Amino acid sequence: MPANTTASSGSSGSAGEKTGKKKGRRARLIVIVLVLALVAGIGYGTFWSVTTVRASYPQTNGSIKIAGLAGNVDVKRDSYGIPQLYADSDTDLFRAQGFVQAQDRFWEMDVRRHMTAGRLSEMFGSGQVDTDAFLRTLGWRKIAQEEYDTVLSADTKKNLQAYADGVNAYLKGRDGKDISVEYAALGLTNDYKPTKWTPVDSVAWLKAMAWDLRGNMQDEIDRSLMTSRLSQKQIKDLYPAYPYDKHRPIVDQGGISQVTGAFDPAATDSAGPGASTVQGATEGVTTQLASLSDTLDEIPALLGPNGNGIGSNSWVVSGRYTTTDKPLLANDPHLAPQLPSLWYQMGLHCRQLSATCQYDTAGYTFSGMPGVIIGHNQDIAWGFTNLGADVTDLFLEKVSGDGYQYDGKVKPFVSREETIKVAGGESRHITVRETNNGPLVSDRSGELEKVGQKAPVTNSAPDRADGYAVALKWTALEPGHSMDAVFELDRAKDFTTFRAAAEHFEVPSQNLIYADTKGNIGYQAPGKIPVRKQGDGTMPSPGWTSAYGWKKDPIPFDQLPYEYNPKRGYIVTANQAVIDEKKYPYLLTKDWGYGTRSQRINDLIESKIKGGGKISTDDMQKMQMDNTSEIAALLVPELMKINVSDKSVRQAQKLLEGWDYTQESDSAAAAYFNAVWRNILKLAFGDKLPKEMRVKGECLTVLPADSTGPVDEQDKPVRECGQRAADTAQPDGGDRWYQVVAGLMDDKNNDWWKSPRSRKDEATTTRDELFGRAMADARWELTAKLGKDTSTWSWGRLHQLTLKNQTLGTEGPDLLQRVLNRGPWNLGGGEAAVDATGWNAAGGYEVVWVPSMRMVVNVGDWDKSRWINLTGASGHAFSAHYTDQTGKWVNGDLLDWSFGTNAVANSTKDTLTLKPS
């Protein structure tokens, strides 16, 4: 299912049941289309257009009375509908935040809380049962409740309750149609009515965030799936070591001091690697992990396709290298495009800071959660990128009777019953079973009942009998303090209080960058990161022995890497390695991003500094839009040497002559090169991968996976079709694949360059033969897509962004999608460029993740900061603020970001006063 879809069919059940579900869902959608056609004023529905659409628009002027407020709260919105809130107490401030976000985004909030609780079926019917069952098995809502009850601070709980009260004040007395047009449509097919918001609804959202940023779980599955077709050497080829010599890690000095036992950026006596790299009991777990991968595809990926692409850029430059003489900080998280955007821009201001009113902060928030996630306050600024720590492990479990084997004994499951209510149908009941390694995710798939049938294991493994089950161990399935950290960041005043907040930001593990008004810059790697007894987390581990698993305590916070005012004068984080593994005793992960973006940003900063210049706010903005392709710089010189006899292919090849490797939207060279790159990956690697990793529906004739000889000896070729969603298939073309190809370039006769004969092409045996074939295939592919005349080609015509409403706009008839969705836009940028408009080379050229927002913070002179959102402030489909920032985002423009009282007053267009009732 597409990323961000929250109305998809399940993955289990009979064919007849699936057909019935699809017909039923389509019938509902047809009704919804007719309603929305009326709502949009299409045909003869003018009256409905006025009454229904305007009924859900927020009041932005005048005053509204709200129960529970102690004083007035002013809500000042600018011409883009971005609100700045002014209050006299923390409680009033967060109560108002809940009210205002519900005004603009409650449908989005409601869908999210149903997703995190495994209750989508209550809104969308039986098609969501399998998704709900998997999410109930993970138990996000259950863990969120435990956090709220037993872990979070009293102040945090007070703020969460105030936020919930504000949301409920908005909901009071409103029918669904008065809240959002989607409810008006849903109401004709479902008697669903929104219920009150709770503090735990907000806490659970952090679990969804952690899930999508969970690290290498997909790589762990993929490596195991590869064993059905590839040798261990071949798998190693496809997962090369991080290139520390070419791509600088975030922290390039320091280590854990032998004297203090804590991380010291100046330490020269750091302890060396201490984590065991002994492999797990399995070399491949084909059947059950393929099914698990299918199940993962059915889960709404709210932040983006999990894997190499999801990430972010952030960097901070010291004032000694800036035109402002104060630090400049940039951030642009790369997440899934959705409508409305994941982010909600907002300012939270106490009219006077005091013990009872502690906040003066602005930035990007999540609708449904109080506080500011990324931004600045009056003293400091901060940004996030995904650290990518390996915080999940899959364990094979030997199940017997009502328990599982562990150290030669049978331990009982911890079980619970879950009831899934279904709109328009009967409730479903599931049993969730948990081992000491986490819940059995294999229980949620019919195929996974045959788990472990083909998994090679050591001689010491228990008899497989009917197979092994699969358990998921994940740090986010334990109560934590991340919600505390959000408020602590918002209040932090210096690097000490910033690090104290970071210590509580346990999941998801993020790179945190920092700058303050006194000119300091810094970095902290936070997170609850496990210490493994054995194994390196790259393959599933045996669950039946205490020799594996995790040690009781994670890596101590004071031993996690950080930097403070490094000598180089800047810090770059873009999902690269945090620190050289040879200098650090703990295993953070084996699956970093490979540092292409981070090194490009390092190079851009250094070239400016070494040239004697200083970096301005404009320079930071231009860096965010840098779209240079590193893989093009490597490949194009070799592609130009290939003798091409076909005149049409030669015509395309000539596009690359003199190309500067930038990927502008109107570039014909970028279009052709990226098509060549896609076809190189397909011929060299994609056609050799197992069907479980290839794009769904794409079929190949191959030898059976268990083949032991050439085709003409004993094994007959079979027809195998891909099984994975297009935006998660492999090879995805990210910078891991850059590194793979770079490592093979000098070995022109490597077996990877061999590709079998096709109907129209001879077999290839060398690198240049395969490159030539890819150039021809790319020429004909683009001829079909863009036309015969190469002068009319452009990268943007291939590389398009369509913004889809995260629920009703993701499937169904075209009319429904036209009503709720927007686009397409032709984009520049590309995979692993700084302007990371990501696309999956296995699936096509469509944009699947983007810089979901961009900001450049002018530290200390806050009103000269700039920001932009992917869409707009409003979640109402026909609001003027639905996508009013998108055009500027596409062009790389940023909006002025008002923060001070006078600047906000000057930019205010509408003022709403919330008053005590």
Q: What is the pLDDT of residues 313-342, one digit of tens each?
A: 999 999 999 999 999 999 999 988 999 999
User: What percent of the chain is helix, strand and coil (3-state, nearest 5)?
Assistant: 35, 20, 45
How many CB atoms are closer than 10 A to CB 654? 14
Predicted pLDDT at 830: 96
Phi, psi dihedrals of residue 900, rounded to the nearest 5°: -65, 160
If you average pLDDT over every residue of the chain, what do you get? Answer: 87
Q: What is the full DSSP assignment across 218-251?
A: HHHHHHHHHTTTS-HHHHHHHSPPP-TTTS--S-
- Confidence class of residue 848 from pLDDT cuts 50, 70 and 90? very high
Q: Looking at residues 617-640, what average pLDDT do you find?
A: 98
Which of 820, 816, 877, 821 minimizes the C-alpha distance to 25? 816
Q: Mean pLDDT across the stretch 112-124?
A: 93
Is residue 284 predicted with pLDDT exceeding 50? no
pLDDT at residue 399 greater than cutoff 80:
yes
Residue among 210, 263, 302, 275 nearest 510 (CA): 210
What integer pLDDT is reported at residue 466 of this predicted model?
Answer: 60
Residues 84 and 346 sit within 8 Å (Cβ to Cβ): yes
Give the closest residue to 617 by CA, choosing from 865, 332, 377, 381. Answer: 865
| Confidence at residue 451, expressed as pLDDT on a 0 to 100 scale | 34
Q: Picking from 254-263, 788-797, 906-915, which range would have the lowest pLDDT averaged per residue?
A: 254-263
Q: List the alpha helices (DSSP H) in 139-266.
A: 140-146, 154-171, 176-179, 181-186, 199-212, 217-226, 232-238
pLDDT given at position 708: 40
809, two tokens? 């706009």
Give the rounded percent of residues in the chain with a pLDDT score beyond 70: 84
pLDDT winner (highest mean) among 39-53, 218-232, 649-663, 801-815: 649-663
What residue type is 256 in one-letter code? I
**3-state SS track over 270-307:** CCCCCCCCCCCCCCCCHHHHHHHHHHHHCCCCCCCCCC
Top mean-pLDDT range of 212-216, 402-406, 554-558: 554-558
Residue 236 pairs in a beta bridge with none
Strand partners, 331: 314, 855
**pLDDT exceeds 70 at position 746:** yes
Give the model's pLDDT for residue 808.
Answer: 61
Q: Within a 10 A sphere around the Cβ of 375, how many other Cβ atoms?
A: 28
Interval 51-110: pLDDT, tens: 666 778 999 999 999 999 999 999 999 999 999 999 999 999 999 999 999 999 999 999
pLDDT for the residue numbered 23: 43
